[in-house]
C-alpha cells in the first residue's frame, strides 16, 4: 500500500481511485471556511521516495486505471514535477486512464496552454476546483486568496486544453448579509466559466473554521432559497450539476440546461413544503 499520513481527503468521486499523497496539506491554508488541513504543515514528499512508491504500488495494483494525487492543490507543483510524476505513472500503470487532482485558479494559470495540454496528454484529467463564490467581496472576507476573474479564466483555459473542471460552490458562504450578492454573482461568474461539472455544497461550520465578523449561518430554508436563486440564474450550455452532498438539505442532480426547469420545480416544492427549518440550519453533517 502507498504510505498515507492523516488527514487524507479526496473527492467522493475518487472513492475507487488509487491514491498517492505527493504532498502534505494545502499550500494556501488560509480559507476561513475550510478546516481540512488546519494544523498540517504543508510539505512536498521527497520525489525519489514518491517515484519509488509508484513503482512498488504498481507491483501490487498493476491494473489500476484511475489515480488521485493528494493533498490540496497538487496543481501547484512545478510543471516539471507534475510532468515527471505523470510520465512515471504512465510507464508503471499500463492501463492508466486518468489522473485527477485538486487545483486552484492561480495554480492552473501558473502553467501555460502548452504545459496544460502536455499534462492532459499524460492523462491528467479532472481538476477539482473550489470556486466557492462569484462575489469577490465574499471571497476576500473568507480569505480565499483567489480572484473571481482569474478562476473563471483558469477553468476556461484548462477546458480549452482538454482538461475537465469539476467546480464546487459553497451555499451560505456569504452568510445572511451577502446571500443575495453571493447567489447573483456566483451564477453570473459560472455562466462565464461554463464548467463541465458543477457541485453545490452547503457551508457548515466545522472545528477550525472562524468566519468573518457579522457572519450569520443561513437557515436550512435560506440555503435552499439561495440554491434556487443560483440555479435560476445559470445559463449553462453543457454541465452536469450536483447538489447531493450530505451537507445539502435537498439532494439534487441533473444536466444543464436540459433539467433546469425540473430542478427549479423540485427546489420550489421544497421551499413551499414547510419541511425546511426557517430558524436554524436543520440537520448538518459533522464534516464537509
Ligand atoms: S479550501 Fe482549498 S485552498 Fe482553501 S484552505 Fe482548504 S484546501 Fe486549501
Which tens digit of pLDDT belongs to each residue from 55-101? Answer: 999 999 999 999 999 999 999 999 999 999 999 999 999 999 999 99
* Grid coordinates of 146: 483567489
- 66: which residues sit within 8 A by CB, 6+ positions away? 14, 16, 17, 18, 97, 98, 99, 100
| pLDDT band for position 211 (cuts 50, 70, 90) | very high
Nearest CA to ligand 1 atom 5: 29
Predicted pLDDT of residue 285: 61
Q: What is the pLDDT of residue 208?
A: 66
Instruction: Assess whether pLDDT exceeds 50 at residue 7.
Output: yes
pLDDT band at 223 (very low <50, low <70, confident <90, very high): very high
Above 90 in pLDDT, residue 248?
A: no
Atom of ligand 1 nearest to the CA of 72: 7
Rounded alpha-carbon distances, angstroms, from residue 186 to 31, 102, 192, 235: 18, 20, 10, 12
Exposed/middle/buried for residue 40 (C-beta within 10 Å: 0-12, 13-18, 19+) = middle
Residue 271 CA, ligand 1 centroid: distance in Å: 31
pLDDT at 284 over 80: no
Angle at 196 between CA 287 and CA 115, to 5 degrees: 100
pTM of the model: 0.96
> What pLDDT, on a 0 to 100 scale, did the predictor assign at position 1?
76
pLDDT band (50, 70, 90) for residue 49: very high
Residue of the nearest CA to atom 4 in ligand 1? 31
CATH number of 13-273: 3.20.20.70
Can you tell me which atom of ligand 1 is nearest the CA of 34? 6
Report CA(228)–ligand 1 centroid distance (Å): 26
Residue 287's pLDDT is 47
HSE at residue 32, side-chain half, CA atoms within 13 A, is 14
Mean pLDDT of 207-225: 91
Residue 282 has pLDDT above 90, yes or no: no
Average predicted confidence (pLDDT) for the chain: 95
Pocket of ligand 1 (CB under 6 A): 26, 28-29, 31, 34, 36-37, 72-73, 104, 130
Q: Where do the structural domains in the chain lie, given as residue ranges?
A: 13-273
SS3 label, residue 278: coil
Residue 225 has pLDDT above 80, yes or no: yes
Amino acid at each position: 500500500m502507498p504510505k498515507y499520513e492523516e488527514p487524507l481527503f479526496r473527492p467522493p468521486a475518487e472513492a475507487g481511485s488509487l491514491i498517492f499523497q505527493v504532498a502534505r496539506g494545502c499550500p494556501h491554508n488560509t480559507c476561513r471556511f475550510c478546516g481540512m488541513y488546519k494544523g498540517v504543515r504543508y510539505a512536498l514528499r521527497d520525489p525519489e521516495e514518491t517515484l519509488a512508491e509508484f513503482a512498488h504500488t504498481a507491483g501490487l495494483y498493476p491494473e489500476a486505471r484511475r489515480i488521485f494525487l493528494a493533498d490540496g492543490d497538487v496543481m501547484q507543483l512545478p510543471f516539471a514535477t507534475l510532468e515527471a510524476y505523470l510520465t512515471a505513472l504512465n510507464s508503471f500503470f499500463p492501463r492508466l486512464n486518468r489522473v485527477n487532482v485538486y487545483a486552484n485558479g492561480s495554480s492552473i494559470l501558473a502553467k501555460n496552454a502548452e504545459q496544460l495540454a502536455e499534462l492532459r496528454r499524460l492523462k491528467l484529467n479532472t481538476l477539482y476546483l473550489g470556486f466557492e463564490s462569484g462575489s469577490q467581496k465574499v471571497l476576500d472576507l473568507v480569505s480565499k486568496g483567489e480572484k473571481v476573474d482569474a478562476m473563471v479564466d483558469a477553468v476556461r483555459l484548462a477546458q480549452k486544453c482538454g482538461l475537465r473542471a469539476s467546480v464546487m460552490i459553497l451555499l451560505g458562504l456569504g452568510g445572511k448579509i451577502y446571500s443575495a450578492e453571493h447567489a447573483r454573482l456566483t451564477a453570473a461568474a459560472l455562466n462565464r466559466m461554463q464548467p463541465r461539472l458543477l457541485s453545490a455544497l452547503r457551508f457548515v461550520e466545522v472545528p477550525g473554521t472562524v468566519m468573518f465578523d457579522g457572519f450569520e449561518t443561513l437557515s436550512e430554508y435560506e440555503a435552499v432559497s439561495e440554491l434556487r436563486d443560483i440555479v435560476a440564474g445559470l445559463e449553462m450550455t453543457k454541465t452536469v450539476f450536483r447538489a447531493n452532498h450530505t451537507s445539502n438539505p435537498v439532494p439534487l442532480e441533473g444536466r444543464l440546461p436540459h433539467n433546469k426547469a425540473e430542478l427549479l420545480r423540485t427546489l420550489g416544492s421544497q421551499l413551499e413544503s414547510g419541511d425546511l427549518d426557517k430558524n436554524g440550519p436543520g440537520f448538518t453533517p459533522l464534516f464537509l
